[in-house]
Amino acid sequence: HLLGPGAAPLGDRLLRGAAAEPPAGPELPAVPEANGVLRGCEPGKGGAGAIAAAININASTSKFLMNVITIEDYKSTYWPKLDSAIDQLLTQSPGDYIPISYEQIYSCVYKCVCQQHSEQMYSDLIKKITNHLERVSKELQASPPDLYIERFNIALGQYMGALQSIVPLFIYMNKFYIETKLNRDLKDDLIKLFTEHVAEKHIYNLMPLLLEAQSTPFQITPSTMANIVKGLYTLRPEWVQMAPALFSKFIPNILPPAVESELQEYAAQDQKLQRELMQNGFAR
């Protein structure tokens, strides 16, 4: 199945369908052991390994029967497929046609987990996405002020959209390696990467521009402002302290309750906003 316009989000499709059953192909039992390894996936423990030993066939045939994926196989065949798919998901724009088979990629991840390549695969994934985010950060640094906010919004939206596909594709690695051995979660790890390699490097340039845009109605669209503010709050809630009034317009219940002594000030702010809207053509 290829990803294209009009298709349901990849995360939804996987979690409704493919995640419920092992992918098609050679049977690979998926009963979890206590240590996070999938039972029956270890080469040489019964199954095809025992048959191979019993009939004394040569090593290459034994490897075929056991479906062994060596580290060389992983590096030359499996990871390149994953690498290419991740590239496309990280750089796609809304509505793009993505010519990849999510079932094939999901199957690659599943088999690599069975063959105990999770640690290498996780390392490669983190390195891949880190390099991508460092390029994104450099591109943002080169943006002129009048395009900076919009480009940050695009980068944030594009990355969060990509995670909706990438995280479900690596669901088996998350379940049987990241959660079990690292006591973490893949989505949290990948969001943290954006925080560290993009948002933290740009927050002190971005925030003054957001405050300026807030005081100049329609300098940027309300949806762009809302997306960025909500995104920053998701990445690091304590950034609210940098501009509480700005965040409070889009994040409910982050300011203390209003007190009676400040009601006149609130009313004055509301009247100022209404005047600005009327000056820009909005009816009262």
pLDDT tens string 80-113 = 999 999 999 999 876 676 777 888 999 999 999 9
Question: What does pLDDT average to over the chain?
Answer: 78
For 239-272, the pLDDT digits (tens) are 999 889 899 989 988 776 545 565 566 566 656 6
In the prediction, which pLDDT does 144 show?
A: 92
Distance CA 228, CA 223 (A): 9
Tell me how crowded residue 35 is: count the other CB atoms within 10 A of its CB.
8
Strand, coil or helix: what is 256?
A: coil
CA distances (Å), origin 111, targets 45, 47, 270: 17, 16, 59
pLDDT tens for each residue of 115-161? 999 999 999 999 999 999 999 999 999 999 889 999 999 999 999 99
pLDDT at 25: 41
pTM of the model as a whole: 0.69
First-to-final CA distance of the chain: 51
For residue range 185-228, what is the model confidence (pLDDT) as tens digits? 999 999 999 999 999 999 999 999 999 998 887 788 999 999 99
Burial label, 178 (beta-carbon count in 10 A; 0-12, 13-18, 19+): buried
Of 34, 60, 269, 235, nearest to 133 by C-alpha is 235
E strands along the chain, which residues? 2-3, 31-32, 38-39, 98-101
- Gap between the Cα atoms of 270 and 254, Å rounded: 19
Where does the pLDDT of residue 36 fall: very low under 50, low under 70, confident under 90, or very high at 90 and above? very low
Identify the pLDDT of residue 58: 46
Sign of the alpha-carbon dihedral angle for 33, 36, 41, 44:
negative
Of residues 264 and 229, the one with the higher pLDDT is: 229
- What's the CA angle centered on 4, arms 82 and 89, to 5 degrees? 35
Residue 21: per-residue pLDDT = 46
Q: Residue 97: its pLDDT value, please?
A: 67
Residue 174, pLDDT score: 97
Of 36-45, 169-178, 249-258, least confident by mean pLDDT is 36-45
Mean pLDDT of 30-54: 41
Burial 117-128 (b: 16+ CB within 10 A, else e): bbeebbebbeeb
- Predicted pLDDT of residue 254: 78
- What gap in Å lies between CA 154 and CA 162, rounded to an integer? 12
Domain ranges of the chain: 71-251
How far is 54 from 207, CA to CA, in rounded Å?
Answer: 69
For 71-251, CATH number out of 3.40.630.30, 3.90.1150.10, 3.30.1540.10, 1.20.1310.10 equals 1.20.1310.10
User: Which of 32-41, 128-137, 233-242 comes out lowest in average pLDDT?
Assistant: 32-41
